[in-house]
Every structure is written in structure tokens, then in C-alpha cells.
Copies of this chain bind each other. A is one copy, B any other.
């Protein structure tokens, strides 16, 4: 067996999410509760009826690659040749790490709290991953100075998920420019920024930063999973500059050959009908309601700037993993333990707020009650 696997655990998020019962208040797994627009799926069916479902080019359907490149129009990523269509943004991220980093010499810097997959993928590849923790006292705001100080001579890639899973913070335009400029000033071998934009259509601040607009060494990953409630479709992409894209396509080709042709035509319909943001207003409206509910809960929370998460803090000394298990087992609430996203988030819970307002309110009430018991030493 490959000895690298021994140290890599199955997803803690999935482990907790699997405790869900039909009765549970589910604030766990990260996916929309909206249903996808059937017109997009029908477009995939229509394509299949007319053409069957054959392999596409490894990099994906040319029209889809073009539509994506044009939609985002990032200066160094605006040609179809910059786009590789993948099996969700997960395969995109994996292929990027595998393509760009040399396990013998290169380090990946993960901005934490972070979705655990980046570090796990690096471990699978034998790539050294270091993390830089954003500050709890600043509600984990993205801090370009902190990130920059953590860059070593071996750092070849920084991975930033903004809007952020789990913190729901967004890297602002000025911070994005500041980090980009500082990285450019360093000179020498470029440090790549992998900007995971999978929550881009759940952005609730007007000054979100996009590395693709400012920094030539940006690689972007994204998908239709969160934007269009199509997590199960597994259709994503990576956008990479010309010096990277052909190698990325090569890795992708040997991993999965090509993305699902049906899914590609669903995505093509989304882009060609301008429907990427079709759910954005719903999230923005829900977000207002969610902030009011968080405020009423009495818990410390981070006001969401993006994504569909909200994070609440447990009392000092209460471990989030223990809390998540207790909440699932005794209070029938599924909430993801912050420790899944890094040590700095050990006292936090990540809550998905795509459920009914009533459920969120009740779930927060149960978390508040649990917190109170924990403070009183009544939990075991």
C-alpha cells in the first residue's frame, strides 16, 4: 500500500455529516438546498438526444471553455486555451497542485482556516504544506501582511478560498492588490496564487478582490456546484496561464480523461443563458435574515461576507470535535467542527445556512444551550 495514505484521514466533515438522521437540524454538509434550474439539465438531455454522449477533448468542449474564459475575462486567463474543464473544482484543485508543485522542493502555503482538501491533496502528492493562520481577534479577516510573512523561499503556491469556506470572509480588493503587489515585488521565481472561487456567486460585499484581475501568476478554480445548486453534477474548471495550462490538461487527461459530456452541456447552457448568478439574489436575501438570527442567538459569530456558511464560537476550552459529536448525538443538530479547518478554528463551529430560517433558529438555540451547559461543566 502507498504509505502516504496512512496519515490521510477520511473527511471529518463527511464523518459528522453522516450522523444526520431524518429528524436532524442539518447545518452540516456544504451544498445548496435550492434545486437546479431544469432548463439547464434539459439542455444536456437535448444534446445527448442529438449527439449521444461521446468523449470530448481532454480539456473540454471548446464552446464551454470559450464561454468561461469570456465570462470571467481575467487578463491572463481570457482565452479558451486557459481553461480546463474538470470533474468539479475538486479535481481541478488536485490537478493544479499535482501540475505546479515539485514534491522535492516546493511548498504549498494554505491560508487558514481552510477547507481541508488542500492539505490532504498536498499530502497525497508528497508536497509539503504549511499554513498561515488568520487572526481570531480580527474574525479571521484575510490579512495580506500575515500571508506575506509566511512565504518562505520554498513557497511556490498560496491557496486562498475567497469567499471563504469556512469563515465566510471575503478577501477585499485592497488586500488582494496589496498581496499581489508584494508578491510581484519579491522577484525571483513566481509564487502562484490558487484562488478557489467556488463561492463567487455568494458574495455579499461590494469590494471583493479577484487575484485574476491583478496578479499574473493566478490560477483560478471554480464550478457550477454552488452557484447553480449542482454539486452532484461534478462540473468544474481550472483557469491557468499559458505556461501552465497545457501541463494541467495533460494531468487531467490521465486522471479522468475528460469531464462528463452531459454535464459540460448543462454548464454551457448556464453560461450561454447568463445564468451563473441566477441564485445570487436568493443568497443575498437569506444572508440578511441569517445575520438577524445570529444576532438573536447571543453566540459570538462572524458576519458572513460570502459563501453560505456562518461560524459561531464555542465557550473557551470547549473542543469543537467533541461539541459536534455531542450536538449530533444528544441534540440532533449537525454542525461541522472548526478543527476540521485548522487549529486556529478549534473553538468554532461551521454552520451551513441554506435550510429554513426556523431550523437555523432552532439549531442555534440548541448550540447556545449546549454552550451554556458546557460553560457550567454539565457536558461530559
A contact set with B: CB distance below 8 Å: 1-3, 5, 8-11, 14, 18, 29, 31, 34-36, 38, 41-42, 45, 48-49, 52-58, 87-88, 90-91, 94, 98-104, 117, 120-121, 124, 229-234, 244, 247, 249-251, 253-263
Contact = CB atoms under 8 A, between A and B. Distances in A.
A48 B53 contact: no
A186 to B, nearest CB: 19
Nearest to A3: B102
Contacts of A35: 52
Closest 10 CB pairs of A and B: A232-B261, A53-B232, A35-B52, A90-B257, A234-B260, A87-B256, A87-B87, A91-B256, A54-B232, A55-B231
A90 B250 CA distance: 14
A122 to B, nearest CB: 10
A154 to B, nearest CB: 15
Contacts of A49: 38
B29 A52 contact: no
Contact of A2 (B102, B232, B262): B102
A91 B257 CA distance: 8
A29 B247 CA distance: 22
A31 B45 contact: no
A234 B87 contact: yes
B256 A256 contact: yes
Given A94-B255, A260-B260, 6 more contacts: A8-B250, A36-B52, A41-B53, A41-B262, A54-B231, A232-B262
Given A48-B36, A55-B31, A247-B5, A233 B260 contact: yes
A284 to B, nearest CB: 21
A263 B234 CA distance: 10
Contacts of A57: 14, 18
A321 to B, nearest CB: 19
9 contacts: A5-B251, A8-B250, A8-B254, A9-B250, A31-B55, A53-B231, A54-B231, A232-B262, A234-B258
Contacts of A257: 88, 90, 234
B100 A91 contact: no
A100 B254 contact: no
Nearest to A248: B5
Most chain B beta carbons < 10 A, residue from A14, A91, A103, A254: A254
Nearest to A265: B232
B254 A120 contact: yes
Contacts of A230: 53
A85 to B, nearest CB: 11
Contacts of A34: 52
Q: Which of A99, A117, A257 is most buried by chain B, counting CB atoms within 10 A of its CB?
A: A257
Contacts of A14: 57-58, 253
B256 A234 contact: yes
